[in-house]
Chain A
Amino acid sequence: MIKLFLKNMTPWYFLIPIIVIHFIVIAIPSILSLALCFTDWNGFGKINFIGLDNFYELFNDRVFKLAVWHNLIWTIFFLTVPISVALLGAFLLTGVKRFQLFYRFIFFFPFILASIVNCLIWKYLFHPKHGLGPFLENFGISLFTNSPLTQKETSLFAVGFVDAWHFWGFLVVIYITAMYQVDETLYEAAEIEGATKWQKFRFITFPMIRPTFVFSVLIIMIWSIPAFDYVYILTGGGPAYSSEVLANYLHFQAFRNMNVGYASAIGAMMFIYVFIVITIFGILRRLDWEI
């Protein structure tokens, strides 16, 4: 009996070191912080228990609702644009022998750069005085006469674009490695039957890389929840909250507005997102999608 118990414990011994570190660094402080969501702590003084007041206030908070909506748009944007471009890039790369390593390196390059550097580049390029706007104006094209980062209608997508610009090369690398695993004879068979490129992609490549694809979807959905640095650096959530996302609003409330209790309540609400994502994947697993 004891032996059996020990045997079952073996997997845990291997897990414990990293889990303990992770638990100390992330779980414990997060739980401590979440406990503050029932208080009005300003980050300095006394901590007063105020029950659910923060949550009542959240539900009337125009900015919070905007931020929830923007996080959703952000996720959808990342699930469509970078994924399609990366699939296209990776699929085309598999058909290219010459310069393949070169292309791959170029696509991956922005991923190597720090977020501050990427933001610096694009803030500069979007600038209405010296960026792409005046440059295109020389050719009679009035695009970007205003920085898309400073317009209410476009700011969220402009920030998303910069983040995606840096990120999609990473997806290319993941997809292309999966695509190389596809059995060549399948393509040969399709060739004989006169399949078009799209048909080959649709009926051979895509089903074969599905596990990797699902993995990328999961990672994107998870990473979209705490999206912060690009918003913070490029727009600070503005103008007029048009690019506000949850993590940036949390940061603003905790560090700028001295509303730590309220910020914790935002954090607590963010977990709902997490559970939705995880539930979706739980269902997919049930449906026997290997992740």
Chain B
Amino acid sequence: MSTISYSNRDKIFNHMILILLSLSIILPIAVLFFNSIKPHVELGTNPLGFPSEIRLMNYYDAFVKGNYARVFLNSSILVLGTLFVCIPLSGLAAFSLAILSPKGSTTVVIGLYLLVGLSIPAQLYILPLFIMWKYLHLNNSYLGLIIIYSALNAPFAVFLMRSYMIQLPIELFDAAKIDGAGPLKLFTSIAVPLSWPVFLTSGLIVGLAVWNEFLFAITFIYDDSIKPMATILFSFSNRFRNDYTLISAAAIMMALPMAILFILFQKRFISGLTSGGLKQ
């Protein structure tokens, strides 16, 4: 770790800019928060400020109307399921690209393939995919969505993990090979223990993406009992109108679990990115 040393005057200057940048984020979110604890009638007279009367019932209403307990569970299942499929498999792929074949043509081909995959708009393939899923009986099920989410998030996870694993000292692997370890053993006993921070980081990013996803969710799930979190925001709007206070409360409740996770793992989250893409 290294930091640049600054004079006191510089430090104040730094903080000023950082505070400005922070305010540009905090203020809009504060408005969202204020609206979430405002009585609906106050929106018209006091659209931006702190409420004159705090109404926590918005949260209760959103909780009940949006069926929060259930969608929370559904989203958790989707997130955990996706992590369970996507992270180990992406790890295997990253290991292959970084350790087994670091300079081979495989890396180039697969790298290109995944890059192209990242750039295809979902609107292009969602229709045929739906029809395929129907024939595979994967529609309207957690499993069907978990497979889709794993595929959608795999490229980024693979790139991230590869850039971390490529930093691992190759000597360790060579030594183990001499001791007769197979590639799978190299993966489980050296690569995984040494690069677990990046597993955690990609897990957080993939989990976040799944938590917030709604295009595939509303298309592939038609049973309300297995609907995920992102779809409930719409429960408070009609064809033409919105109930801002309830939507704000629901939005906060939707963000809260992820915010807590990121606070808990903040330091580790960074260490998974450390040396990401860097070659010392």
Contact = CB atoms under 8 A, between A and B. Distances in A.
Given A107-B21, A114-B212, A180 B90 contact: no
A225 B119 contact: yes
Interface in B65-110: 85-86, 89-90, 92-93, 95-97, 100-101, 104, 106, 110
Interface in A171-223: 173-174, 176-178, 180-184, 187, 191, 197, 200, 209, 211-212, 215, 218, 222-223
Nearest to A135: B48
Interface residues of A, number: 103
A28 interface: yes
B85 to A, nearest CB: 8
Contacts of B6: 95
Interface in B9-36: 10-11, 14-15, 17-18, 21-22, 24-26, 28-29, 31-32, 35
B57 to A, nearest CB: 20
A202 B271 CA distance: 25
Given A94-B3, A117-B251, A181-B278, A267 B47 contact: no
Pick the most buried of A43, A180, A278: most chain B CB atoms within 10 A of its CB. A180
A239 B208 CA distance: 32
A22 B159 CA distance: 14
A47 interface: no
B147 A25 contact: yes
Contacts of B127: 29, 33, 43, 254, 260
A69 interface: no
Contact of B247 (A120, A178, A218, A222): A120
Given A33-B125, A254-B123, A28 B132 contact: yes
A225 B116 CA distance: 10
B157 to A, nearest CB: 9
Nearest to B85: A21
Contacts of B175: none
B41 interface: no
A24 B135 CA distance: 13
Given A10-B183, A131-B47, A274 B17 contact: no
A254 B32 CA distance: 34
A110 B25 contact: yes
Interface string B41-67: 001100110000000000000000000
A21 B86 CA distance: 10
A222 to B, nearest CB: 5
B96 A21 contact: no
Given A30-B125, A92-B14, A25 B275 contact: no
Given A92-B18, A183-B2, A277-B119, A130 B44 contact: yes
Contacts of A104: 266, 270
A76 interface: no
B92 A121 contact: no
A67 to B, nearest CB: 12
A247 B123 contact: yes
Interface stretch (A11-19, A54-62, A146-154): A11-19
Nearest to B106: A11
A3 interface: no
Contact of B119 (A28, A109, A273): A273
Pick the most buried of A11, A228, A246: most chain B CB atoms within 10 A of its CB. A11
B244 A124 contact: yes
Contact of B3 (A95, A105, A215): A95
B43 A226 contact: no
B3 A184 contact: yes
A191 B163 CA distance: 32
A88 B17 contact: yes
Given A24-B151, A117-B255, A215-B163, 9 more contacts: A14-B96, A25-B148, A25-B150, A114-B230, A177-B276, A181-B278, A211-B277, A218-B115, A226-B121
